[in-house]
Amino acid sequence: MYNRFLWCLSCFSPASVPQFTNSPTLIVMVGLPARGKTYISKKLTRYLNWIGVPTKVFNLGQYRREAVQSYKSFEFFRPDNEEAMQIRKSPQSSATVSGMSSSLQVFDATNTTQERRVSIVSFAKEKGYKVFFVESICDDPEIIAQNITDVKVSSPDYLNCDKDEALADFLKRIECYKQTYVPLDDEKDRRLSYIKIFNVGSRYLVNCVQDHIQSRIVYYLMNIHVTPRSIFLSRHGESNMNLLGRIGGDSGLSPRGHKYATALGTFIKSQRIKDLKVWTSHMKRTIQTAEHLGIPYEQWKALNEIDAGVCEEYTYEEIQDNHPEEFALRDQDKYRYRYPKGESYEDLVHRLEPVIMELERQENVLVVCHQAVMRCLLAYLLDKTADELPYLKCPLHTVLKLTPVAYGCKVEHVFLNVEAVNTHRERPGVSFTKHVHLLQAQYKKKMFNRFRKSNTDSICVIIVVECGRLSASERFGTVFVIGLLTNLPPGDVTRQAKLHPTKTG
C-alpha cells in the first residue's frame, strides 16, 4: 500500500493545478495507531481547503482494506509476517490509479520506521515535493483509551465484531507497531522539517520550517485541541433592514428581532453551559441581540457582515435594475465575485481566519453574527466546498449547536419559535441564466476567447464565453451578454448584439 501511495504521487504533476504555494508539499503523518493521526489529517485538510489551498488526504488504511478485503486479526501487522508485509508494500493494492490534483498531499499512515521515512523523502524530492512531518506522540493512557473507544473499535476492520474482542485485538496491533517504531530524532533528523505534538497539544517541538505554508500548518496545529465542547452559531435577531429586504447597512432590531434576542437568552440559560464565551460583530443588530443574554460579550470587527460596497442597503431588485452587470456576474461565481468597492466571500474567508484560530483555541462559544459570516464559519466546521459555501442556509431566529466529534461536527438546528423574514436566495438555475440578456459587464481578458471585427466608426468584438457558454459582444472594453447557449462549441458564435456606432476618438 505504501508503494501505491508513491505511485499515485508520481501521477501528479505540480504544474497541473493552481499553485498556492511556491512548491507542492507532502505532509507525512508519523505515530503509533490511536494517536490522533487521522483526526489531525482530516482537520488540517479541512482548514487548508477552506483557506484556498487545495489539499487531499491519502489514507493508507483504506487501500490496505481494498487489498486484503477482510481483516482477520492483529497477526497481519506483525513485523515478521512476510506475506502481509508484501501485501502492504504492493503497488497493486487498488485496482485504479487516480492522479492527484492538489498542491498539498497528506499521507495518513503510521510511517514509524526511519527506513520508510527516508524513502518517502527521497521519492518526494525526486518529484519536486517539499516534505513536512507531523508526529503525534501520546503516552497518556486515558487519551489513548478514549480514542480507541470512540473511533477504532467502530472502524470497518471490526464490523460485526464484539467490542471487547475488537479492543483486545487493537491493543495487540499497537504492540506490533511498537516493536519497530523509531520516533523522529532531534539529532539524526535535524535536517528534516517537522512538528512533534505531545499528548494532543500539551507540548510541541518544531524543527526547520521551510516556508509560509509550513508556518501556517504549524500555527494551526498549535491552536487545535480535543476538549469536549459546544459551538453555538446564531444570526442576529431580525433587523429593520431585513424587513425591507435590503442587504447590509447597520440598522437595529425589529420588534420580532428583540423578541428573538430574549428567546435566545432563555435558551442559552437552559443549556447550563460552563464558561460560555459570547462573540459579536461591531454592528448594532448583533450587539442588541447579545445584550439580552445577560452575559459579557466580546466584539470582533472581523465578524462584521460582508461589505456590499456600492450595493449596500439595496434590495436585490434594485441591484438588478441599477447594476445589472454586477447582478449577473455575482450569479456566475458567487464565492469569488467582489462587490464594487466591497468584498467577496473569498475575501471574507481570509478576514475570518483569525476568528477560526481563536474558535479552535476556545471551549464553549456562542457566535452572534451575520448570514455571510455564518456561512463561512459553517463551511469550515462542516467541510463544505467554496462552491457550496455561498448557498448554505442560515435562517434567522435559529440556533445551530455544533458538537465536534471524531472526524467532524454533529449539528443540531434549534428554531426558537419567533417568526422572521426569509433572507435566503437560492442558487440560480439554468432557467434564470437563459433570461439574462443584453446585460452590461466589465470585460475580463482571461475569461473570454475573442475574435474581432471592425469598421471606420466603431469596433465590435464578438466573444464566446467558454466558462459559461455565453455568446456576447464587446465594444471598448464593455461586454453585452446575450444569453446562455447550452452545449455551445468553443469558437461558435450564434448571436451578436447590434451596436450603435460611436466614434473612437
Does 122 carry a binding-site annotation?
no
List pLDDT tens digits, range 143-155: 999 888 887 777 7
Pair (396, 339) in one structural domain: yes
Q: Which of 172, 187, 221 is the last residue of a domain?
A: 221
Q: What is the pLDDT of residue 442?
A: 40
> Would you place residue 6 in the very low, low, confident or very high pLDDT band (cuts 50, 70, 90)?
low
- Residue 115 CB partners (closer than 8 Å, separation 6+): none
Q: Check pLDDT > 60 for residue 81.
A: no
Q: What is the pLDDT of residue 265?
A: 98
Q: Check residues 82 and 454 and name the one with the higher pLDDT.
A: 82
Lowest mean pLDDT among 13-17, 114-118, 143-147, 151-155: 13-17
Does 242 carry a binding-site annotation?
yes
- The single residue of 135, 236, 346, 370 carrying the catalytic annotation is 236
**Mean pLDDT confidence for 183-202:** 95
The arrangement of strands across the sheet holding 470-475 comes to: 439-442, 478-484, 470-475, 459-465, 449-454
**Mean pLDDT confidence for 302-319:** 98
Pair (332, 254) in one structural domain: yes
Residue 100 near residue 6 (C-beta atoms within 8 A): no
Pair (70, 35) in one structural domain: yes
Pair (258, 348) in one structural domain: yes
Q: Check residues 501 and 201 and name the one with the higher pLDDT.
A: 201
List pLDDT tens digits, range 222-255: 999 988 999 999 999 999 999 999 999 999 999 9
Does 357 carry a binding-site annotation?
no
Q: Check residues 436 and 388 and name the one with the higher pLDDT.
A: 388
**Mean pLDDT confidence for 32-44:** 94
Pair (257, 396) in one structural domain: yes
480 in a structural domain: yes
| Domains: count for the chain | 3
Out of 3-7, 317-321, 487-491, 494-498, the most confident range is 317-321
169 in a structural domain: yes
Q: Which of 189, 221, 253 is the last residue of a domain?
A: 221
29 in a structural domain: yes
Residue 260 near residue 287 (C-beta atoms within 8 A): no
- The single residue of 135, 258, 305, 397 carrying the catalytic annotation is 305
Does 236 carry a binding-site annotation?
yes
List pLDDT tens digits, range 44-60: 999 999 999 999 999 88
Residue 393 belongs to a domain with what CATH number?
A: 3.40.50.1240
Pair (69, 158) in one structural domain: yes
Q: What is the pLDDT of residue 161?
A: 82
Q: What is the pLDDT of residue 1?
A: 53
Question: Is 175 known to be catalytic?
Answer: no
Pair (354, 447) in one structural domain: no
502 in a structural domain: no
Q: What is the pLDDT of residue 342?
A: 98
What is each CA distance from 65 to 90, 331, 420, in whole angstroms? 13, 43, 50
Lowest mean pLDDT among 194-208, 383-397, 465-479: 465-479
Out of 26-30, 101-105, 112-116, the most confident range is 26-30
Strands 194-198 and 203-207: antiparallel
Residue 225 near residue 361 (C-beta atoms within 8 A): yes
Residues in the chain: 505
Helix (H, G, I), strand (E, B) or coil at 461: strand
Q: What does the DSSP assignment read for 261-327? A: HHHHHHHHHHHT-TT-EEEE-SSHHHHHHHHTTTS-EEE-GGGSPP--GGGTT-BHHHHHHH-HHHH
Does 238 carry a binding-site annotation?
yes
494 in a structural domain: no
Pair (387, 305) in one structural domain: yes
441 in a structural domain: yes
Residue 258 belongs to what domain range?
Answer: 231-415
> Would you place residue 447 in the very low, low, confident or very high pLDDT band (cuts 50, 70, 90)?
very low
Does 235 carry a binding-site annotation?
yes
Pair (21, 170) in one structural domain: yes
425 in a structural domain: no
The arrangement of strands across the sheet holding 297-299 comes to: 297-299, 277-280, 365-369, 231-235, 398-405, 408-415
Among residues of the chain, what percentage have pLDDT more than 70? 73
- Phi, psi (deg, nearest 5) at residue 347: -60, -40
Question: Is 358 known to be catalytic?
Answer: no
Q: Check pLDDT > 70 for residue 430.
A: no
Q: What is the pLDDT of residue 92?
A: 33
Pair (139, 282) in one structural domain: no
Q: Which of 415, 439, 466 is the last residue of a domain?
A: 415
List pLDDT tens digits, range 122-144: 999 888 899 999 999 999 999 99
List pLDDT tens digits, range 87-97: 555 533 332 23
- Cα separation, 9 vs 125, in Å, equals 11
Asked whether the whole model's pTM tops 0.75, one would answer yes
Q: Check pLDDT > 80 for residue 471.
A: no
> Would you place residue 406 in the very low, low, confident or very high pLDDT band (cuts 50, 70, 90)?
confident
Pair (243, 386) in one structural domain: yes
Pair (291, 382) in one structural domain: yes
501 in a structural domain: no
Does 344 carry a binding-site annotation?
no
Q: What is the pLDDT of residue 453?
A: 39
Q: Check pLDDT > 90 for residue 402.
A: yes
Strands 203-207 and 297-299: unpaired
Q: What is the pLDDT of residue 439?
A: 40
Residue 14 belongs to a domain with what CATH number?
A: 3.40.50.300
